[in-house]
Structure 1
Amino acid sequence: MGYEFMDTQPAYSKIDEQLRTEGIIFGDFDSRKEGWWLLERDAPSPNEKVIVESLPYMQGNYDFSVFDDERYFENRTLTYKFKIVASPYSDRKMLEHEIKRKLIPMKIQRLIDTHDSNYFWKGKVQSITLADDNKYQTLVATITFNCYPFAFAKNYEGSDIWDDVEFEHWVFQEVNFDVFEAKKITLINIGSRSTVCSVEVTGNVWVRGNNTELQINSSNYLGVEIVLNRGENYFELAGEGTIKFKFRREEMI
């Protein structure tokens, strides 16, 4: 008489591995290390700050939402749903308290999503809701973040760390310059909006271009900011010294 063997152990799948290895990091909270499995993520595009005027006897209206070739947005809402499985009731209650205790008091800071490891968000926790299922010994946490509408590149432009290069959306460029005679340079911002650039300087360097004219040296460069428009930004450098331009892309992802 034959017997049919049935494996009652949980079946392994790539989905299980994804649940274990994907998650978020916010301050000292790492969902993967805390034992939470990521079930869902939701990052809808932000609402635009709409400014319109309508006049009598006019078809349509005037839309003043775009200024200086940029659209402006409200903060965006990012929502993550996590699950704890096969955990006794006492542990689930402890985990419920811990996730609230660790996340809700935190101020605005970086939110890292492993799904987009080359970027980070800036925001704070808006709400945490939990659903306990005693029958299946599971706990589901839904965490909502209120974040700045654009994501920031993890590294400064010009870092060109090979493992982080996204060939379909990347530009290799020099951001460090030795200045001994007048030279023309181009800085390229391939981000979704203009960005603020800081500098590090030794010696004395003059920067002209892009509605900017600055004389910078090693004692006054702290706090200097230059706005880089989307696309190519042209400058002329003069003086004697070195200058490094430090800026991150801001992306609508």
Structure 2
Amino acid sequence: MQYEFRNLDPVEDNTNLNIASEGFIFNGYDTRLNGWWLIERNAPLPEEQEITEQVPYMQGEWDFSMFNGERFFKNRSITYKIVAFGRRYRNRSALENDLKRELTRVGESTLKDTHDPCYYWRGKCKSIEIEDDEDKHVLTATIEFNCYPFAFTNHVEGSDIWDDVDFDHWIWQDVEFDVNGSRNVTIQNIGSRPVISTFEVTGTIKVQGGAGEVEVNQSTGPITEYVMDMGSNRFTLTGNGRIKFVFTREELL
């Protein structure tokens, strides 16, 4: 029995109805370009690393899970169910083998999901379960990834590449500044946690902010790490030259 499957996704590519518009890419393997159709995605929030204490004769418990205003999470599980239609047994077998080979031959790698095109995950394939329906000529694969709890933006802050702008959660801001003497600047981190920034520098510039004071130049800037807190980060820049704050947001999606 032969089946035809029409892609009903909102962003359907009407020029080629035989290629899915939704799926994932892991270590270069694109499910859409290999005959798979995404039918289910499950990405629950990661479990928090809770630290609690109960005190005798006290109602409830003390929660010490947060540190410096930040919550901490365990790795998260992201699961996909994909299907391939209308293939004979040998074709289904080859497709299954290719899927397993491509997803399991590496450890941690980049996982991109068309559900969130402005972001990517870091993780590894944990399991692949296969169901083969001979009567309907349908192959179903359920793939689980074990991932870092936060998603990363595709590009460093300030890149503002049009195709990678999440208009529902974005800010247009300068992260590169000319310094001739002293000036005050503010940079926003609208992500879900503090992140590390490094620097691209010409000249020598001293950076003073909430995480302390560092002096950077062309050689030391790329290896100097500075904490970019959530929200507004105010800096005093002193010296002569040009400095760029280089950091990637992390989002709890």
Q: Note the aligned Cα RMSD (angstroms).
A: 1.8
In structure 1, the residue matched to 2:221 is 221
Once the 2 structures are TM-superposed, how far is the Cα of residue 97 of structure 1 from its aligned partner? 1.1
In structure 1, the residue matched to 2:96 is 96
Query: What secondary structure sits across from 1:102 in the alignment?
Result: helix
In structure 1, the gaps of 5 or more residues are 1-7
Tell me how far apart the structure 2 counterparts of residues 175 and 121 of structure 1 sit (CA, whole Å).
Answer: 24
Larger radius of gyration: 1
Tell me how far apart the structure 2 counterparts of residues 103 and 13 of structure 1 sit (CA, whole Å).
Answer: 24
In structure 2, the residue matched to 1:133 is 133
Going from structure 1 to structure 2, the CA distance change for 1:206 and 1:91 (only over 3 Å counts) comes to same
In structure 2, the residue matched to 1:124 is 124
Query: What secondary structure sits across from 1:180 in the alignment?
Result: strand
Is 2:69 the partner of 1:75?
A: no
TM normalised by structure 1 equals: 0.92
- Give the letter aligned to residue 122 of structure 2: K
Tell me how far apart the structure 1 counterparts of residues 119 and 177 of structure 2 sit (CA, whole Å).
Answer: 26
Partner deviation per Cα, 1:174-218 (whole Å, 9 max, x = no partner): 011111110001110001111111111111111111122111111
Query: What secondary structure sits across from 2:47 in the alignment?
Result: coil
In structure 1, the residue matched to 2:195 is 195
Tell me how far apart the structure 1 counterparts of residues 24 and 9 of structure 2 sit (CA, whole Å).
Answer: 17
- Give the letter aligned to residue 202 of structure 1: T
Partner deviation per Cα, 1:145-181 (whole Å, 9 max, x = no partner): 0001111111211112233333332111101111111
Identity %: 47
In structure 2, the gaps of 5 or more residues are 14-18
The answer to whether the 8 Å contact 2:9/2:21 transfers is no
Tell me how far apart the structure 1 counterparts of residues 5 and 129 of structure 2 sit (CA, whole Å).
Answer: 29
- Give the letter aligned to residue 27 of structure 1: N
TM normalised by structure 2 equals: 0.92
- Give the letter aligned to residue 207 of structure 2: V
In structure 2, the residue matched to 1:234 is 234
The answer to whether the 8 Å contact 2:44/2:78 transfers is yes
Tell me how far apart the structure 2 counterparts of residues 214 and 130 of structure 1 sit (CA, whole Å).
Answer: 54
- The equivalences for 1:1-253 within 5 A come to 10=4, 12=6, 14-15=8-9, 17=12, 20-253=20-253
Q: How many residue pairs get matched?
A: 246
Tell me how far apart the structure 2 counterparts of residues 226 and 34 of structure 1 sit (CA, whole Å).
Answer: 42
Once the 2 structures are TM-superposed, how far is the Cα of residue 9 of structure 1 from its aligned partner? 8.6
Query: What secondary structure sits across from 1:33 in the alignment?
Result: helix
- Give the letter aligned to residue 240 of structure 1: N
